[in-house]
Amino acid sequence: MFRTLWPLAMLAAVLAASTTLSTALARAHEIVGNRSFPATLAIDDPGVNDEVSLPTVSISKTGDVPSFKQLDVSGEFAKRITEDFGVSFAPTWSRLYAPGGPNLTGARGFQNLETTFKYRLFKSPEHEFVMSAGLEIEWGGSGAQSVGAERFTVYTPTIYFGKGFGDLPTSMNWARPFAITGQFGYAIPGVSKTTSGTLDLDTGEMAIDTEFNPRVFNWGATLQYSMPYLKSAVVDLGLPDFVNRLIPIVEASLQTPVSNTATSGTVTTGTINPGIIYAGNTYQVAIEAVIPVNRQSGTGVGVIAQLHFFLDDIFPNTLGRPIFANNISTGRPNFGH
């Protein structure tokens, strides 16, 4: 397990600073009835909102042989065009540390820029259910090849959903704060194969190497228990306000190559991420462990942390509202004091 502690220090510092903020209503991401679906780290959440994630920091070890350490620092800006349709932009800067080398070795640079167009298809406040459809695009050639950014664009049509269990009978009050979210996407490379050549200096002949770019099924889910929901919609146990803002969560993010796999194989890779989210008034802080599901997914346990801002709460009448809208009411439930 990595012994890098500075993401934990960042989390502690932000949580400590939160005591000086207003004790107005705690807000979260997608609101469906009494349910708030928070922004999640390993997969995208089912909502369409105005928000900024800055920064998201992760440290992990790759599944390469030999394995090397990778540091990713990313951000995301999401903007609603209408109440139900939005677009987001997510750049990521990476640094790769060579196996066994000093910290000054290795490559660094930006990954390909990612853009997501998302439309909310359906929302049921009574059943705390929401579903959206989107198109994620990784723009080929926008990043640095030294950190593995591909030259081709990848298109991923995706379905997102969220379901809270607040519609369970009161005899199951203990389970009503639970919620699940998930996503299913099909990644389609813009080109089916990539060809490269290497010159043999001894013979003068060119060796041609062809790599097939597989189509990949991306799938993932979260299981979360909302302490804010427990207090506001089930029972107030008189717990400290800090505890009432916590959301324990477990995420899974997995990828399975399903076609054009001649050179990639069909092994499923991914991670399981247990962690916790703190929902503040206009922001949230989250930290999770990153546990590879197999050797091909990575070695050792990594960590990911994120600071996330709700623009619809910070700038409700300007940046935090849809571009094409008149009167917008967030209808958020009452959390905290």
The encoded tokens of residue 66 equal: 């030999």
Residue 256's closest CA among 246, 266, 242, 244?
Answer: 266
Identify which of 80, 83, 61, 81 has the alpha carbon closest to the alpha carbon of residue 4. 61
The pLDDT of 7-12, averaged and rounded, is 43
Task: Kindly state the average pLDDT of the residues 70-79.
Answer: 97
Contact 163, 182 (CB under 8 A): no
Beta-sheet pairing, 283-292 with 51-61: unpaired
Work out the pLDDT band at 208, boundaries 50, 70, 90: confident
The predicted pLDDT at position 263 comes to 86
Summarize pLDDT for 12-35 with one digit per residue, the tens: 443 343 333 333 333 446 899 999
101 has which bridge partners? none
Paired residues of 225 in beta bridges: 178
Tokens read off for 44: 């995208």
pLDDT band of 66, cuts 50, 70, 90: confident
Distance CA 236, CA 227 (A): 10
pLDDT in tens, 38-64: 999 999 999 999 999 999 999 999 888
pLDDT tens, 83-128? 999 999 999 999 998 776 555 456 899 999 999 999 999 999 999 9
pLDDT computed for residue 90 by the predictor: 97
Q: How confident is the model at residue 327 (pLDDT cuts 50, 70, 90)?
A: low
CA distances (Å), origin 39, targets 4, 258, 310, 315: 24, 29, 10, 18
Please say whether the beta carbons of 313 and 21 come within 8 A: no
What does the block give as tokens for 243? 């505890």
pTM over 0.75: yes
Q: Which residues contact 297 (CB under 8 A, 6 or more apart)?
A: 63, 269, 270, 271
Range from 3-17, 62-76, 312-326 carrying the lowest mean pLDDT: 3-17
| Per-domain boundaries in the chain | 6-314
308 touches 51 (CB < 8 A): yes
Could you give the angle at the alpha carbon of 316 between the alpha carbons of 313 and 319, nearest 5°? 105
Tokens representing residue 157 in the block? 């049509």
Residue 27: how many CA atoms within 13 Å on its side-chain side? 20
Per-residue pLDDT tens for 144-192?
999 999 999 999 999 999 999 999 999 999 999 999 999 999 999 999 9
Q: What is the DSSP letter of 243?
A: H
| pLDDT value for 209 | 82
Average pLDDT, the chain: 87
Name the one residue in this structure whose structure tokens are 């005591």: 19
Predicted pLDDT at 195: 84
pLDDT of residue 331: 42
Q: What is the DSSP letter of 246?
A: E
- Cα 111 to Cα 103, 139, 147, distances in angstroms: 20, 9, 7
Q: Which two tokens stand for residue 242?
A: 């800090």
Place of tokens 């059943």: 127
- Give dist(CA 328, CA 243) in Å, integer: 31
Q: Tell me, what's the pLDDT at 198? A: 66
pLDDT confidence band for 200 (50 / 70 / 90): low
Cα–Cα distances (Å) from 183 to 82, 145, 221, in that order, read 22, 28, 6
What is d(CA 130, CA 132) in angstroms, rounded to the nearest whole number? 7
257 versus 65: which is more confidently predicted? 257
Q: Looking at domain 6-314, which CATH architecture does it have? A: Beta Barrel (2.40)
Average pLDDT of the residues in 60-85? 92
